[in-house]
Amino acid sequence: MKEADYELVLDVMHKHREEGVSLLALARETGQRLPDLQKFMRAHRKCFVMVDATKYKLNPAPPINGNVGSVRFRLRSEAAKKRQQTIGMWVAITVAITSVFYAINNML
């Protein structure tokens, strides 16, 4: 999900923070697909807790404490960490390819 998409999800979750919101209602209000929302909620279990079989709300326990700002911070830091790992992987691949070409060039 993109940042704009999860901002919509967080806004809806904030409106219904006391009682929670069902995934179907969340899909209707945000325009997201149900499987995408399920995947998003499962991927961020520290941010959201399941109230009923299909109803979620913001995690009232630490480190979230039911605070939307804490959820935003956590989601942004996870996205930044993932982006850093991707950049690191591409740097490692580039170094490996460059080293191979350098070694081949020295052999000739």
- Rg of the chain over all Cα atoms, to the nearest angstrom: 20
Evaluate if residue 108 carries a pLDDT over 80: no
d(CA 18, CA 25): 15
Convert the pLDDT of each residue in 35-76 to its tens digit: 999 999 988 988 999 988 889 998 888 888 888 899 999 999
Other CB atoms within 10 Å distance of the CB of residue 19: 8
CA 11 to chain centre: 15
Closest CA to 25 of 59, 63, 62, 51: 51
CATH of 3-107, one of 3.40.50.300, 3.40.50.620, 1.10.10.10, 1.10.1060.10: 1.10.10.10
Spans of all domains in the chain: 3-107
Whole-prediction pTM value?
0.73
